[in-house]
Amino acid sequence: MKTFLYLGVSAVFVGISLGSCKDDDYDTIQSADRIKIDSVQIVNDTMSVFGVQSIRTYSTYPSHCEGFYGYDYIYSGEFSRDVTSYQYHTNGNCASAPFSAASQLNFSPQKKGNYTFRFWTGNNSWITKTIVVE
């Protein structure tokens, strides 16, 4: 009798577990593309070599079906960096109101110098920030 009860409880548990794991529990990412950076916040414009500093970027997404996907961080010279932000697009049923969100990258220089960051703001426009590493 105990074995029958154990099998019955196990079957119910497995049925509930499998029933709640539908393929459509999460929205599927359909694509990713660039999104302009509205503003940049750098806490300190001077820092030590081998230190770590967080750099925040802010972007406005057209709806809640979009969100931050990642950065394209290109070394355009020994002390120059070009940063482009990317957003994902899902196939979900989302609120269509635009919203602003922050994303963050960490900068950890390995060499002293004046580092120039260019953050893509759309078309051929950039926000330029400089960090002096001592």
The CATH number of residue 77's host domain is 2.60.40
CB neighbour class for 78 (10 Å; exposed up to 12, middle 13-18, buried from 19): exposed
Look at residue 34 and tell me if it is in a domain: yes
Structure-block tokens of residue 134: 């001592």
Look at residue 19 and tell me if it is in a domain: no
Q: Which of 4, 24, 32 is nearest to 88 (CA)?
A: 32
Look at residue 2 and tell me if it is in a domain: no
Provide the residue range defining the domain that includes 45.
27-133
What is the structure's pLDDT at 4?
41
Look at residue 98 and tell me if it is in a domain: yes
Look at residue 53 and tell me if it is in a domain: yes
Please state the domain count of the chain: 1
Please tell me the pTM assigned to this model: 0.78
Is the pLDDT assigned to residue 43 strictly greater than 60? yes
Question: In Å, what is the CA distance from 41 to each residue of 56, 103, 104, 119, 129?
Answer: 5, 10, 9, 11, 9
Look at residue 10 and tell me if it is in a domain: no
Higher-confidence position of 5 and 53:
53
